[in-house]
Amino acid sequence: MAHPDETRRAVRAAFVFDVLGLEVAALKHEVPIATARRWKAEAKKAGDDWDKARGAQMIAGGGIEDVVRQTLAVMVQQTQATAEALQVAENMEPLAKVQALASLADSHTKMAAVLKRLMPETDKLAVALDVIKRLLEFTKARYPGNAAGLAEMLEAFGEELGKAYG
């Protein structure tokens, strides 16, 4: 089925400007993923590199912090998708699955370390939010009568943390 040029442009815009993954951009515009990949490859051969345009847009749009956040989001999405695919891969030996998961975990750890160095404020925010979550869980378990009030305070305090670190 042939798609109008405006659909191709919409998929490109979703990928470049909305910073959606290619698969998500294709699904959003009801285009087969293979078609979106073909369009992207054809555009690159014609001199329109969607990846370079996306990178430039992310840098121009919000600076390196947005690029790092987007990279982390893509890494997490791909890690989840790969882990899910490995779970249902019936024709894959268990040892191969374990090796693939180990490789995936190693890549994820390395990426997290790089991102931590690039964005220490985001790392601090993650730690701060984890402490808040643990405090609330502790309060619910040990002092259940105080949990509702603490949760209300922590919600407001979370906004302050976001301003300070986010």
The whole-angstrom separation of Cα 85 and Cα 122 is 29
Last residue of a domain, one of 62, 77, 100: 62
Residue 141 has pLDDT above 70, yes or no: yes
Residue 61 has pLDDT above 60, yes or no: no
Give the three-class secondary structure for 56: helix
Instruction: Please indicate, yes or no, whether residues 36 and 71 belong to a single structural domain of this protein.
Output: no
8 A C-beta contact, residue 97 and residue 138: no
8 A C-beta contact, residue 42 and residue 61: no
The whole-angstrom separation of Cα 53 and Cα 115 is 22
Beta strand spans in the chain (E)? none
Instruction: Please indicate, yes or no, whether residues 151 and 102 belong to a single structural domain of this protein.
Output: no
Q: What is the mean pLDDT of residues 92-109?
A: 88
Instruction: Please indicate, yes or no, whether residues 102 and 83 belong to a single structural domain of this protein.
Output: yes
Instruction: Please indicate, yes or no, whether residues 77 and 102 belong to a single structural domain of this protein.
Output: yes
Instruction: Please indicate, yes or no, whether residues 154 and 136 belong to a single structural domain of this protein.
Output: yes
Instruction: Please indicate, yes or no, whether residues 142 and 160 belong to a single structural domain of this protein.
Output: yes
At residue 45, the pLDDT reads 92
The whole-angstrom separation of Cα 64 and Cα 121 is 13
Q: How many CA atoms lie within 13 A of 52 on its CB side?
A: 6
At residue 159, the pLDDT reads 66
Tokens coding 27: 């699904």
Instruction: Please indicate, yes or no, whether residues 34 and 85 belong to a single structural domain of this protein.
Output: no
Instruction: Please indicate, yes or no, whether residues 144 and 130 belong to a single structural domain of this protein.
Output: yes
Scanning the structure block, which residue is given the tokens 């790392």? 123
Most confident range (mean pLDDT) of 37-51, 68-82, 142-156 is 37-51
Q: What is the mean pLDDT of residues 113-137?
A: 74
Mean per-residue pLDDT over the chain, rounded:
82
Residue 29 has pLDDT above 90, yes or no: yes
Tokens coding 42: 């054809």
User: Higher confidence at residue 100 or residue 126?
Assistant: 100
Query: Which of 31, 51, 32 minimizes the C-alpha distance to 40?
Result: 51
Q: Whole domain around residue 141: which residue ranges?
A: 120-165
- Burial class (CB within 10 angstroms; exposed 0-12, middle 13-18, buried 19+) of 26: buried
Query: Which of 31, 43, 40 minimizes the C-alpha distance to 2?
Result: 31
**pLDDT tier at 32 (50, 70, 90 boundaries)?**
very high
Q: What is the mean pLDDT of residues 141-150?
A: 90
pTM, 2 dp: 0.41
Query: Which of 125, 149, 150, 126 minimizes the C-alpha distance to 136?
Result: 150
Residue range 12-23, pLDDT digits in tens:
988 887 878 899
